[in-house]
Structure 1
Amino acid sequence: MLVHRGVKHVGSRMCCRYASTNSGKQNTAGKDEMIRFRSHVIPCARENLARYGGRQTVTALPGDGIGPEMIDHVNRIFSFAQVPVDFETIQVSSENPREEDLENAIVSVQRNGVALKGNIETKFDDPHFKSRNMEIRRRLDLFANVLHTVTIPTVPSRHKDIDIVMIRENTEGEYSGLEHESAAGVVESLKIVTREKMQRISRYAFEYAMKYDRKKVTAVHKANIQKLGDGLFLKIASDIAMAEYPEIKFNAMIVDNASMQLVSRPQQFSGGIMLMPNLYGNIISNIACGLVGGPGLVSGMNFGDKYAVFETATRNTGTTLAGKDIANPSAFIRASCDMLRYLNFNEYADLISDALFETLTVQRIHTQDIGGTAKASELVNSLLENIEKSCVNSKYRFRS
């Protein structure tokens, strides 16, 4: 446990003297990689977040599978580092899919403004079962899904120097959920594309590129076949690029070619943004996560005008790993750091993110999914030790 003596917190500033290279183990290249490991998050501008006395209340949605133990890991880290966040835990599960639980979760996020979420399993064998994940995104109008995929030194991967931001429209397209059986054995699924939402996600991507100096935006589409739906998306993205953001390089790529290019030469997308409609974004993002080490490493962010929900990038429950202390907590920890940046708790976010980076790259604590033998709890223990070392010269004192 971390205890401070006679030291005050000022706003979101942590009164621990913290430097990411204080261990002496990080050279300049390592420091650059550590900084690149941190995701860029547009901070919240809302004044009415549930923040009282400098502490922020956050909705925790553990979900199914490994979600509850991941929330426990984050709770332990936040408590150790004295992060000024309190979790309001709401249970939403596929095992007991009560509408009341979903409503409680949505009301909680609306009240607090932000959530940290595990995945809720969707029963694909029941056509009447609505995806809780989709309902949360739709009801809160979380229109932008943002992923940052970056290669991590010491984590096995076929490619190096990957640094790609994926921005995906999150509320419509093939995920509109409108299907019906028009005749026996004939199913119609509706893909809904609207000018308003295509403009909104396109501008979000270009604004993100401007803010964080991303040099290129690549729109991924299938307009050669879906000439109206994807054609509208492509035209809107092209028009906005030309008229409003001429300083950013814009190009377009058909989704099947983009998939091949991503696995054969992903470096061509590094330093840029891949902008995608909903379904293609889901598929392409999972490919990108696989390129940098798999589902246990990458976080995912969901933004709307009013609310934000943070989770793992690949949205899998990891049910077969639950309760075994082997599921990689890195993606969930990175999601919690993204959340802290959104809340303007940047010092805490950097402290935890850099401690995780050192755990993976200096101590080389790797779980089974990335070629190691470490337990999840061992990874977290190493992270906490790195936090303690970062603050060893401060006025903080630690005790077990």
Structure 2
Amino acid sequence: MESKVVVPVEGKKITLQNGKLNVPENPIIPFIEGDGIGVDVTPAMLKVVDAAVEKAYKGERKISWMEIYTGEKSTQVYGQDVWLPAETLDLIRDYRVAIKGPLTTPVGGGIRSLNVALRQELDLYVCLRPVRYYQGTPSPVKHPELTDMVIFRENSEDIYAGIEWKADSADAEKVIKFLREEMGVKKIRFPEHCGIGIKPCSEEGTKRLVRAAIEYAITNDRDSVTLVHKGNIMKFTEGAFKDWGYQLARDEFGGELIDGGPWLKIKNPNTGKEIVVKDVIADAFLQQILLRPAEYDVIACMNLNGDYISDALAAQVGGIVLHRVRISATNARCLKRLTGLRRNMRARIKSTQAPLFCLRR
């Protein structure tokens, strides 16, 4: 298929060398305008980033922007029902870093969520959300300045994998029949009209997420890494997430038990300071981030818990529109801005043009 993307004449690709990004003086960065208010906010975002680069580097560096397509605009460029073209995925892989606006959910079958599809296709397994208070921002809590956390949300597994079947469908009935007759499951309360879903959680997926969180804590001189989970109820998924996280801290970072465990301490090789690796039940954590937020620093959690936690924490310091997201893989990064899709509320648009979101590979 003929390329629909215009590559800038000036600029060079960002490359990966020894696991680190090699950024040229004039990098080419793909961007996705997005749907809804993306038409309004993305052009403004590009101008803000350009101005920041100009000021920071005194004109010695410059970004060459390259538009790529996903969402409604993609259907106009590539054809009806082409919401996520292969060319877009290939360019993000090739150029390593990209930035995107908000994306709609296609109506009908096929892709359920373009955001989830991007993460899965590019294996963007870390959703990194730094949340801190900026002085002068209105907040519903008395001491928002005590909130300073970085959330590492696992982005490729859990119920967000989208493995589910609609109630009364032949597939749902087949799965339920298998569970009841072959696996001896007797806890499906109303099997006759029941949707069913699967929650995958793997050792590999858990360990690469927790590894990234601990490495971040070491590099950025943070005090602790907390594994947030519901292992008291879901012992073989959420509970396994906790166990594998502790195992990785012991095996790869030399974690030592504190007072018999399960909490561990790791010595930061850069500073000599101790980093505590601990865990907490998710519902208790949501309470404690209000009562004792200063006790938490880097957070590692599964996909669904991370979704709740990120927005709850952001609300404590002024709302999600003030915070950025970096969604990462071993070889890619994606940045995004955080906001909704509506264009018809101009006052709201003016108040939500702060943050953005970045993809990096």
Common fold, TM-score beyond 0.5?
Answer: yes
CA distance, structure 2, for counterparts of residue 178 and residue 321 of structure 1: 35
The structural deviation recorded for 1:107 is 1.8
Residues 322 and 242 of structure 1, relative CA distance in 2, 3 Å threshold: farther
Asked if 1:165 is matched to 2:150, the reply is yes
Q: Which amino acid aligns with 1:136?
A: L
* Moved beyond 6 Å, runs of 4+: none
The residue aligned with 1:118 is 101
Residues 330 and 301 of structure 1, relative CA distance in 2, 3 Å threshold: same
- The aligned length equals 288
Once superposed, what is the RMSD of the aligned Cα atoms?
A: 2.7
The structural deviation recorded for 1:261 is 1.4
Q: Is the CA contact 1:167–1:275 (under 8 Å) kept in the aligned structure 2?
A: yes
Residues 58 and 323 of structure 1, relative CA distance in 2, 3 Å threshold: farther
| SS, match of residue 202 in structure 1 | helix
CA distance, structure 1, for counterparts of residue 145 and residue 209 of structure 2: 29
The structural deviation recorded for 1:126 is 4.4
The residue aligned with 1:178 is 163
Residues 44 and 66 of structure 1, relative CA distance in 2, 3 Å threshold: farther
Aligned to 1:292, which of 314, 317, 320? 317
CA distance, structure 2, for counterparts of residue 330 and residue 79 of structure 1: 15
CA distance, structure 1, for counterparts of residue 137 and residue 122 of structure 2: 35
The residue aligned with 1:326 is 350
The residue aligned with 2:71 is 93
The unaligned stretches of length 5 or more in structure 2 are 1-11, 13-17, 167-171, 174-191, 256-265, 268-274
The residue aligned with 1:214 is 222
Asked if 1:103 is matched to 2:86, the reply is yes
User: What TM-score does the superposition give when structure 2 sets the normalisation length?
Assistant: 0.73
Greater shift, 59-68 or 294-303, is seen at 59-68
The structural deviation recorded for 1:105 is 1.9
CA distance, structure 2, for counterparts of residue 101 and residue 278 of structure 1: 22
Residues 129 and 101 of structure 1, relative CA distance in 2, 3 Å threshold: closer
Residues 106 and 274 of structure 1, relative CA distance in 2, 3 Å threshold: same
Residues 323 and 92 of structure 1, relative CA distance in 2, 3 Å threshold: farther
The residue aligned with 2:248 is 240
Q: Is the CA contact 1:146–1:302 (under 8 Å) kept in the aligned structure 2?
A: yes
The residue aligned with 1:359 is none
Asked if 1:187 is matched to 2:195, the reply is yes
- Percent identical among aligned pairs is 22
Q: Is the CA contact 2:70–2:83 (under 8 Å) kept in the aligned structure 1?
A: no
Q: Is the CA contact 1:168–1:275 (under 8 Å) kept in the aligned structure 2?
A: yes
